[in-house]
Chains A and B, each alone.
Chain A
Amino acid sequence: MAEVSIDQVVDTKGELCPMPVVRARLAMDKLRPGQVLQVVATDPASCDDFPAWCRAQKHTLVESRQAQGVYTYLIRKGG
């Protein structure tokens, strides 16, 4: 897979729903369309929450990974 350049990182490790999505939204507000946000989470609900959030906000979920209970999402801002 081609390297995706990351413009902003949000670390929500240890936080529960809805905080990963809420923090992602606040961070995304500061980015321009096309820029990429990386969200790191440990909340298992984030697996469903981030795809749903991306659909609702018309962002693109470029990649989602899980390793040792840590979820990493790359999200390209839509618009």
Chain B
Amino acid sequence: MVQVKDSQLLDAETFARLHAQAHQETEVKRIALVASKGTLDMAYPPLILATTAAAMGQEAAIFFTFYGLDILNKKRLARLKVPPLANPAMPVPVPNIVGAIPGMTAMATWMMGRMMRKQKMPTVPQFLDLAKQLRVRLIACTTTMGIMGISKEDLVDGVELQGAAAFLEYASQAQVTLFV
């Protein structure tokens, strides 16, 4: 980057060069998301935003950390659940004492699954496939893998493994960063 003092007037050539440089720097937009929750309702927002960004020609990456890593876990990603406890936004409001009854999590999950199918929303595995097709980078947090005893073989294909420093370097060049 060229430093320009406030008082310094720019000649046309310098202006054109700086303008071109700035334009180039912002031409490819980038979005960096963190997915930290392993529930069905919280798996959708990062997958939706990242695939949309990629469909718009932006670079997109999702960093899956802590329970968010379940979204990439082959054994778990098709079985993510909706928690009815402490969730006042359920379509049919459920008092917490009822939400705590065994079977209510399955019920809440079934309800959301039915709503999603009715609106033809892709499932989480289908969204992951779309994301890969659109070259969204799916990054598994290596620390979470260590803590939870998860190996690369437990995760879907096409996942990158990264630490926080590498992801932050990527995110520091992003125009949009969101923590989900």
Q: Indicate if A26 sits at the interface (CB-CB under 8 A).
A: yes
Indicate if the CB atoms of A16 and B51 lie closer than 8 Å.
no
Complex interface: stretch among B52-60, B66-74, B91-99? B52-60
CB within 8 Å for A16 and B52 given contacts A22-B134, A57-B57: no
Inter-chain CA distance A26–B56, complex, in Å, is 11
Q: Indicate if B100 sits at the interface (CB-CB under 8 A).
A: no
Residues of B within 8 A of A56 (CB): 29, 56-58
Indicate if the CB atoms of B56 and A57 lie closer than 8 Å.
yes
Shortest B88–chain A CB gap in Å is: 23
Q: Indicate if B120 sits at the interface (CB-CB under 8 A).
A: yes
Shortest B167–chain A CB gap in Å is: 23
Indicate if the CB atoms of A16 and B134 lie closer than 8 Å.
no
Shortest B143–chain A CB gap in Å is: 30
A interface size (C-beta, 8 A): 15
- Chain A interface, >50% SS class: helix
Residues of B within 8 A of A62 (CB): none
Q: Indicate if A14 sits at the interface (CB-CB under 8 A).
A: yes
Q: Indicate if A15 sits at the interface (CB-CB under 8 A).
A: yes
Q: Indicate if A19 sits at the interface (CB-CB under 8 A).
A: yes
Indicate if the CB atoms of A22 and B120 lie closer than 8 Å.
no
Shortest A45–chain B CB gap in Å is: 11
Q: Indicate if A21 sits at the interface (CB-CB under 8 A).
A: yes
Q: Indicate if A25 sits at the interface (CB-CB under 8 A).
A: yes
Indicate if the CB atoms of B120 and A15 lie closer than 8 Å.
yes
Indicate if the CB atoms of A15 and B119 lie closer than 8 Å.
yes
With CB as the reference atom, state the residue of chain B lying closest to A25.
Answer: B55
* Residues 71-126 of B contacting A (Cβ, < 8 Å): 119-122
Q: Indicate if A24 sits at the interface (CB-CB under 8 A).
A: yes
Interface residues of B (CB under 8 A from A): 29, 48, 51-52, 54-58, 119-122, 130, 133-134
Given contacts A18-B48, A25-B55, 10 further A-B contacts (CB under 8 A): A16-B119, A17-B48, A18-B51, A19-B120, A21-B55, A22-B134, A25-B54, A25-B134, A26-B130, A56-B56
- Please give me the 8 A-B residue pairs with the lowest Cβ-Cβ distance, nearest first: A25-B55, A18-B52, A56-B56, A15-B120, A22-B55, A14-B120, A57-B57, A16-B119
